[in-house]
Amino acid sequence: MTWLKSALALMLALIGFAASAANLDEIRKQTRYSMDLTGWLDIDGAGMVTAHGLDQDVAKLPPSVVNRVAQAASGWRFATPTPGVAPAAMRVPMRLRMEARRNAEGYIADLRIAGAGFGEVPPVERVTFAKAPSTRAIDGYRGGVSGNVHLVVRVGRDGKPMQVVAEQVNLTVVDSERGMARWRGVLANFGIRLARQWRFIPPTAGRFASRSDWTVRIPVRFFSDGRMPPEQGQWDFYIPGPRQEIPWDTGSEDGLDVDRSSVANDIDLPGSGLQLLTSLDVETPSSATADRNP
């Protein structure tokens, strides 16, 4: 049994004796697995991918993950930086977020590439922190529950947050439905309070510089009881929470926000970076693979 299965078994045990078998089955159905990967792409003058690689040891990764990335990358095409002008071939970094679930037989199912980021955006063309947030408040959280809070922050030209929404809270512990809703509220409120204290530096160059405000996504991870985040290339598990509506215009016409990075305090400005013209993943996700993990 892998560490992930052991952790999941412990997580389910935390439900307590009041949980019924039906509750456990429902929780298992809700549980999702995620894996963060980094790597690189070689892109030719037409925007086609000619080669790719992962920074992680592919021999230690599930074969289904390696094959899925290779299959998707072979069909990617990117917009050229200057319309009508073919750039020279280049190598760019990439970040990938894999997601899956585990079926009743214990195999990986519905494996997909859920998010990605390509290329490097100069600091002057994106929103950055005026001062890196101290992790003391996050590390000092002692609420007794772990989870990931995906914050959406509307930043004004003065660098102050105008509005903050916890778009989604994914828990890594289990309770009753009522209890999980309460824990999501606790983490969401804590994350929002932190974000309102942050200060940012707006972009001063590039196509976003003239805006009156900017919408950024910042994931924050909370841990309790000594639990540490998995390394890149390892599966993590979570119980997804409901998505909240964003009550303002996010400027989504600039491009799909496909970056669901789990790196704490990592700012993502939707529409920045290389623009992917094709689908992020292959058309039909695989239903199941021979991999036993997670």
Supply the DSSP string of 156-213, one letter for each residue: ETTSSEEEEEEEEEEESS---HHHHHHHHHHHHHHHHHHHTT--EE---SSTTTT-SE
Please check whether residue 39 is in contact with residue 53, taking contact to mean a CB–CB distance below 8 angstroms.
yes
Report the pLDDT value the prediction gives residue 5, as an integer from 0 to 100.
47
> What tens digit of pLDDT does each residue of 152-204 get?
999 999 999 999 999 999 988 777 788 888 889 988 998 899 899 999 999 99
The label of the residue with tokens 């892109």 reads 43
Please report which confidence band the pLDDT of residue 82 belongs to, taking 50, 70 and 90 as the band edges: low
pLDDT value of position 258: 28
pTM for this entry: 0.77
Q: 105 or 155: which carries more pLDDT confidence? A: 155
199 Cβ contact partners less than 8 Å away, ≥ 6 residues apart? 129, 130, 131, 159, 160
Buried (b) or exposed (e) across 89-126, using 16+ Cβ within 10 A? eeeeebbbbbbbbbeeeebbbebbbbbbbbbebeeebb
Stretch among 115-124, 136-145, 174-183, 199-208 having the lowest mean pLDDT: 136-145
Work out the average pLDDT over 96-110: 84
CA–CA distance, 31 with 102 (Å, rounded to integer): 8
Q: Which residue has the tokens 């599966």?
A: 235
> Structural domain boundaries of the chain?
1-30+122-272, 33-120+274-294
Which pLDDT score is estimated for 135? 55
- Name the one residue in this structure whose structure tokens are 């004004």: 156
Q: Provide the CA 86 distance to its chain's centre, in angstroms.
A: 31
Query: Model confidence at 294, in pLDDT bands (50, 70, 90)?
Result: low
Per-residue confidence (pLDDT) for residue 270, from 0 to 100: 61
The 10 Å Cβ neighbour count of residue 77 is 13
What pLDDT, in 10s, does the model give residues 22-66? 566 676 678 899 999 999 999 988 889 999 999 999 999 999 999
What's the whole-number average pLDDT of the chain?
78
What pLDDT sits at residue 225? 60
Average pLDDT of the segment spanning 118-135: 81
**How many alpha carbons fall within 13 Å on the CB side of residue 291?**
24
Q: Once rounded to an integer, what is the mean pLDDT over residues 71-99?
A: 81
249-267: pLDDT as tens digits: 765 433 323 233 333 445 6
If one counts every other C-beta atom within 10 angstroms of the C-beta of residue 59, the result is: 7
Question: In the chain, what percentage of residues exceed pLDDT 90?
Answer: 36
